[in-house]
């Protein structure tokens, strides 16, 4: 039984590692960019899972962090490629083009935005929290749509990706592996954090705030830290997504995008470490394949989603890996 438990995860990990070679072998190279996108969305959905699944904070504006991270990377790339000034400064491309600069900057800005908005929105509960996170996301969405210098609602096309010493990020296989490694590292760290005292207190906040306070723990600090962490990871996902697609537009933070992230978390399995990744993979590939048969795949997917909500709370992860463990 104990061994059996590890067979499937190991198999999936091997599949993830060998996927580019397998796709090459079967002549399906065009699927590699889809697989990379699935990993990136998996990263974003995992970050949402941290606050939504473990923390019980229902945010309907999570894509805003992807947008901030994505636009940070995108705007830097755009100026460097055009050789133009940003805020009156001419940045040396060799330095600022590096992923070691652009991506941490994306993470920091997303986390800062999470800090400011989190301070305000975490004071509210329930319906109000949902609406406030949505409102902040909408503010930023409209900010970027009216940003004519960066294409307004059409967005900007980029030519090439950030650079990383020793790795050729313009190579799609290399980029795939980078995303996979980042995803695994983030998931590992998240697992460790959730096991630690911090994670225990944060999860307890989902279950019963009053009891937590009675134990002498103020939940706001934990929730705010987790909110920033979650925003930071989503910011990184945004930067990766913009690099992958070499394009950024306000679409990346449209409110339906936030809804889709929630759907990935739910379909994959809430409060399960690997659930959101599974959800992202299934959703993106489902979209690709159903779209081949019919333009109207949403008409099938909508009711499917409702059925999952009504009858399958533990998601696909629960369905596949938790037989008999819990209902």
Partner 1 sequence: MLVFEQILNGLQLGVMLFLMSAGLTLVFGIMRVINLAHGSFYMIGAYVAATVTARTGSFLLGVAAALPAAALTGMLVEFLILRRLYHRDHLDQVLATFGLIFFFNELIRMIWGRSPLFMEVPTRLAGSVELFGGLQYPVYRLAIILVGILVALFLYLLFSRTRLGMRIRAGATNREMIGALGVNIPLLYTLIFGLGTLLAGLAGVMAGPLFAVEAGMGDSVLILTFVVIVIGGIGSVRGAFIGAVLVGLVDTLARAFLPELFRLLLASPSSADRMGAALASMSVYIFMALVLSVKPAGLFPARE
Question: Does 123 engage in binding with partner 1 (CB under 8 A)?
Answer: yes
From 128, 191, 192, 200, residue interacting with partner 1 (rule: CB under 8 A): 128
- Residue closer to partner 1 (CB basis): 80 or 261: 261
Q: Burial of 307 by CB count in 10 Å (0-12 exposed, 13-18 middle, 19+ buried)?
A: exposed
Q: Burial of 98 by CB count in 10 Å (0-12 exposed, 13-18 middle, 19+ buried)?
A: middle
Residue 28: CB minimum distance to partner 1, A: 28
State whether residue 205 is helix, strand or coil: helix
Rounded distance between C-alpha atoms, residue 183 and residue 189, angstroms: 10
Question: Does 126 engage in binding with partner 1 (CB under 8 A)?
Answer: yes
Question: Does 35 engage in binding with partner 1 (CB under 8 A)?
Answer: no
237 to 266: interface string for partner 1, x by CB under 8 A: ------------------xx--x--xx--x
- Judged by CB under 8 A, which stretch of 12-20, 99-107, 128-136, 171-179 contacts partner 1? 128-136
Question: Does 283 engage in binding with partner 1 (CB under 8 A)?
Answer: no
Interactions with partner 1, residue window 39-78 (CB under 8 A): 52, 58, 60
Give the position of tokens 């925003």. 231
234-77-102 Cα angle (round to 5): 45
Contact 308, 288 (CB under 8 A): no
End-to-end CA distance of the chain: give it in Å, rounded. Answer: 19
Please report, as ranges, the residues that interact with partner 1 according to CB under 8 A: 52, 58, 60, 120, 123-124, 126-128, 130-132, 134-136, 138-139, 142-143, 145-148, 255-256, 259, 262-263, 266, 295-299, 301-306, 309-310
């Amino acid at each position: 039984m104990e061994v059996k438990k590890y067979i499937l995860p190991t198999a999936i990990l091997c599949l993830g590692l060998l996927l580019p070679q397998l796709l090459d072998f079967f002549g399906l190279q065009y699927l590699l960019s889809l697989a990379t996108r699935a990993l990136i969305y998996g990263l974003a959905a995992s970050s949402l899972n941290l606050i939504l699944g473990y923390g019980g904070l229902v945010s309907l504006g999570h894509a805003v962090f992807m947008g901030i991270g994505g636009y940070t990377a995108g705007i830097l790339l755009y100026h460097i490629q055009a050789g133009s000034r940003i805020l009156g400064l001419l940045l040396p491309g060799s330095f600022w083009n590096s992923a070691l600069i652009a991506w941490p900057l994306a993470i920091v800005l997303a986390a800062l935005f999470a800090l400011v908005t989190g301070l305000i929105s975490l004071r509210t509960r329930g319906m109000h929290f949902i609406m406030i996170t949505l409102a902040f996301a909408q503010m930023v969405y409209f900010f970027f749509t009216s940003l004519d210098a960066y294409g307004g609602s059409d967005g900007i096309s980029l030519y090439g990706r950030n650079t990383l010493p020793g790795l050729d990020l313009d190579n799609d296989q290399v980029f795939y592996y980078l995303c996979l490694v980042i995803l695994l590292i983030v998931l590992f760290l998240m697992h460790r954090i959730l096991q630690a005292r911090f994670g225990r207190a944060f999860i307890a906040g989902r279950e019963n705030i009053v009891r937590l306070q009675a134990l002498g723990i103020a939940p706001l600090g934990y929730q705010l830290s987790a909110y920033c962490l979650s925003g930071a990871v989503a910011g990184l996902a945004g930067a990766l997504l913009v690099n992958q697609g070499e394009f950024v537009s306000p679409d990346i933070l449209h409110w339906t995008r936030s809804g889709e992230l929630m759907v990935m978390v739910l379909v994959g399995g809430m409060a399960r470490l690997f659930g959101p990744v599974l959800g992202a993979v299934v959703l993106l590939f489902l979209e690709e394949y159903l779209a081949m048969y019919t333009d109207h795949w949403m008409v099938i997917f909508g009711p499917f989603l409702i059925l999952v909500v009504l009858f399958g709370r533990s998601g696909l992860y629960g369905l596949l890996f938790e037989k008999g463990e819990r209902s």
